[in-house]
Amino acid sequence: MGNDTVKPVVKHDESNKPKEDYVHSVFESIASKYDMMNDINSFRQHKLWRKFAMKKMNIKPGNTAIDLCCGTCDWTISIANASETGHIVGLDFSQEMLNVGRQKVEKNGLDKQITLVQGNAMSLPYEDNSFDYATIGFGLRNVPDYTQVLTEMKRVVKPGGMVVCLELSKPTWQPFKGLYYFYFQNIMPLMSKLIAKKYEQYKWLPESLALFPGRKELAEVFRSIGLTRVEDHPLTGGIVALHIGIKENQDV
């Protein structure tokens, strides 16, 4: 794993427009309140989830990474701090989210190390074998085709590199499962309406999880695209899961 700076290349965009357009409108509209609502809706647990992911990733100085669906760049910044000198790319399709993220990047003095790119996670504008890590945090369930996104993540990491996904998941044990779904489907959208004046946008979140695979099913997707040494870790009773897979050295 090295610290080479990577350059974008132009690729054709063949995204699923109807879903992408709707999700794009959601995140464009909630960008200014996204961080505050993240703290409220997760009871600030999202900071602990990222800390756990970072420990598992074990980033070394000089490592490079691309953070997909980077949003307001909390994870992007954590990765850059761990890498110290490695080039980090944060990619998101929402310019409004990136605008918020850019302010945080500049505030942390990381604008020389982090490059923010408005782009499509379904078709990454980078060459094969460009990064040591490819990460996606709380964005995989929102893309038109999560297998395609994971395949792209695998493509752009170097042989021996790591594909990492931190995402909402589905708790399986009662009574916690019932309590969680009641909160997620009813209380959280109402809180978002009261605090952020957004209801339909946050109502989208439980809807986005309904068709998304559970923790073990997503681990099988990781294996199906050729990632090895796949790990899946349930967090906070299984409401979130961390998935990690390695691109084999001979896979170039």
pLDDT per position in the chain (252 positions), as tens? 544 445 443 333 434 456 677 667 766 655 555 666 666 666 568 899 999 999 999 999 999 999 999 999 999 999 999 999 999 999 999 999 999 999 999 999 999 999 999 999 999 999 999 999 999 999 999 899 999 999 999 999 999 999 999 999 988 777 877 787 787 777 776 766 665 555 455 556 667 777 899 999 999 999 999 999 999 999 999 999 999 999 998 644
Please tell me the distance from the alpha carbon of residue 67 to that of residue 153, in angstroms, as a whole number: 10
pLDDT at 194: 64
- Asked if 59 and 80 count as a contact pair (C-beta separation under 8 A), the reply is no
φ, ψ dihedrals at 62, nearest 5°: 95, -10
- Strands 157-168 vs 240-246: parallel, antiparallel or unpaired: antiparallel
Give residue 73's region: left, alpha or beta (phi > 0; psi -120 to 50). Answer: left
The SS3 call for residue 98 is helix
The residue count for the chain: 252
Give this prediction's pTM. 0.82
Closest listed residue to residue 116, CA positions, set 86, 151, 89:
89
Cα angle: 8, vertex 163, 11; to 5 degrees: 25
- Asked if 191 and 41 count as a contact pair (C-beta separation under 8 A), the reply is yes
Element (H, E) at 162: strand 157-168
Give residue 119's region: left, alpha or beta (phi > 0; psi -120 to 50). Answer: beta
pLDDT at 31: 59
Element (H, E) at 23: helix 17-30
Give the side-chain half-sphere CA count within 13 A for 49: 29
Please tell me the distance from the alpha carbon of residue 175 to that of residue 173, in angstroms, as a whole number: 6
